[in-house]
Amino acid sequence: MRFKRLWAIFNARNREFFRDRAAFGWNFLFPFLIILGFGVIFKGDYQSQFKVGLFPIPHDASVNSSKDFLPDSFATFKAISFVGFETRVQGMDKLKHHKIDLLIEAGTQPILYWVSDSSPSGAIAERLLKGALAPPETSNRFEKKDIQGLQVRYIDWLFPGVLGMNMMFSALYGVGWVVVRYRKNGVLKRLKATPLTAFEYLAAQLLSRIFLLMFTLVIVWVGCDLLLGFRVYGSLLNLFLVFLAGSTCMTSLGLVIASRGTSEEFTNGVLNFISWPMMFLSEVWFSIEGAPAWLQASAKIFPLTHLLKAARQVMNEGQGLWAVMPEITILYAMTLVFLLFGAALFSWNK
């Protein structure tokens, strides 16, 4: 491998990106618009379905059979789903991080409940609970308790998701779709006639996209932080390392898609097939707490799931690098697999 050839491709790809004003501007404008939109209305994601946690619910007990103490109009309301927890600690952790909207303790008199003051969905769920009670019962059947300890604002929980989503689209389309376009236009065929090797070309594409992703991440972060003042309870360096691992993994996935194919339309379909399920199942916008176990398990096959889990642990919970090392390890293991597949399948012509 010759470093000079690798550097030439790396430099050429960066210049192409910066000279494409439309793509360059959209990479900054898109996350800004989303963050600013949620920041202005702040009340965020008024979902049609609210999640209410109940505890203590034994591991082998059904949640539906454990909500007899609730008013019928509340317990049977179709817009509400119930999630059971064995202990208050488990439920409180989910409540603080917006996995559920309301937490209720069964078996007490009056029945105690907790709701986050920073959660718009929680405020609606609380209104639904109180509205289901007859006026004479409202004051003595339920009692609101204060949440002790750290409360995460919804905008702080959402922010890593928006950054991760922007990183995912930029990595997949910036590598997968672009390289397929090069192959279709004959650019790769011309490069094949040069001393440039496939490994040097793929390595340059990988390094270029990682550089651009992290550059965009820093600019968007600084701009949004100046406007909205995000709270980071962990180390910024650890957060940077987490996003670096995520960008490397998703760029490697883009190289697998770029390894073959000459149809831009087909590639666009493949990218949509991968990116949209990843966006919805990786908890970018909302939690999948309470979803079927198989669905939660299937979400773990996506690199974006592990990226956001680690990023929120650092940003929202103040966890150190060692605590998120399992997620980082998974991301780099995926990276290795994607690179091996990409290198094995890569073709200059087809």
pLDDT digits (tens, 9 = 90+) for 117-156: 767 777 777 777 777 765 555 556 677 765 655 567 777 8
Q: pLDDT value at position 306?
A: 93
**Between 183 and 108, residue with greater pLDDT:** 183
Residue type, 69: F
What whole-number distance in Å separates Cα of residue 159 and Cα of residue 165?
10
**Between 287 and 82, residue with greater pLDDT:** 82
Q: pLDDT value at position 27?
A: 62
Q: pLDDT value at position 154?
A: 75
Other C-beta atoms lying within 10 Å of the C-beta of residue 221: 20
Q: pLDDT value at position 114?
A: 86
pLDDT digits (tens, 9 = 90+) for 203-245: 888 888 899 899 988 888 888 888 777 788 888 899 999 999 9
Task: Specify which residues 143 forms β-bridges with.
Answer: 112
Residue type, 14: N
**How, if at all, do strands 102-105 and 111-114 pair?**
antiparallel
Q: pLDDT value at position 278?
A: 86
Q: pLDDT value at position 326?
A: 93
Q: Is the dihedral of CA 123, 129, 134, 137 positive or negative?
A: negative
Nearest to 281 by CA among 177, 175, 161: 161
Q: pLDDT value at position 45?
A: 42
Spatial contact of 342 and 255, defined as CB atoms under 8 Å apart:
yes
End-to-end CA distance of the chain: 23
What whole-number distance in Å separates Cα of residue 168 and Cα of residue 246?
9
CA dist 240 to 141, 213, 325, Å?
Answer: 48, 11, 13
pLDDT digits (tens, 9 = 90+) for 296-321: 888 899 999 999 999 999 988 888 88
What whole-number distance in Å separates Cα of residue 6 and Cα of residue 217?
24
Is residue 46 over pLDDT 50?
A: no
For the chain, where do the domains classified as CATH 3.40.190 start and end? Answer: 50-145
DSSP letters along 92-126, please?
HHHHHTTS-SEEEESS-SSEEEE--TT-HHHHHHH
pLDDT digits (tens, 9 = 90+) for 275-287: 878 887 888 877 7
What whole-number distance in Å separates Cα of residue 54 and Cα of residue 47?
20
Task: Assign 77 a pLDDT band (cuts: 50, 70, 90).
Answer: confident
Is residue 47 over pLDDT 50?
A: no
Cis peptide upstream of residue 58 (ω within 30 degrees of 0) = no
List the single range of 27-31, 141-145, 161-165 with lowest mean pLDDT: 27-31
As a whole number, the mean pLDDT across the chain is: 79
Q: pLDDT value at position 243?
A: 94
**What does residue 275 show for φ and ψ, rounded to 5 degrees?**
-75, -40
Nearest to 124 by CA among 39, 64, 43, 54: 43
What whole-number distance in Å separates Cα of residue 236 and Cα of residue 9?
31
Q: pLDDT value at position 53?
A: 85
Q: Is the dihedral of CA 253, 258, 260, 263 positive or negative?
A: positive
**What does residue 55 show for φ and ψ, rounded to 5 degrees?**
-150, 155
Most confidently modeled of 28-42, 138-152, 169-183?
169-183
What whole-number distance in Å separates Cα of residue 173 and Cα of residue 264?
11
Spatial contact of 101 and 121, defined as CB atoms under 8 Å apart:
yes
What whole-number distance in Å separates Cα of residue 11 and Cα of residue 74?
60
Residue range 316-340: mean pLDDT, rounded: 91
Task: Assign 73 a pLDDT band (cuts: 50, 70, 90).
Answer: confident
Does the pTM exceed 0.85? no
Q: pLDDT value at position 115?
A: 84
Q: pLDDT value at position 48?
A: 46
- Fold topology of 50-145: D-Maltodextrin-Binding Protein; domain 2 (3.40.190)
Spatial contact of 226 and 152, defined as CB atoms under 8 Å apart:
no
What whole-number distance in Å separates Cα of residue 174 and Cα of residue 187?
16
HSE, side-chain direction, 13 A CA sphere, residue 121 = 26
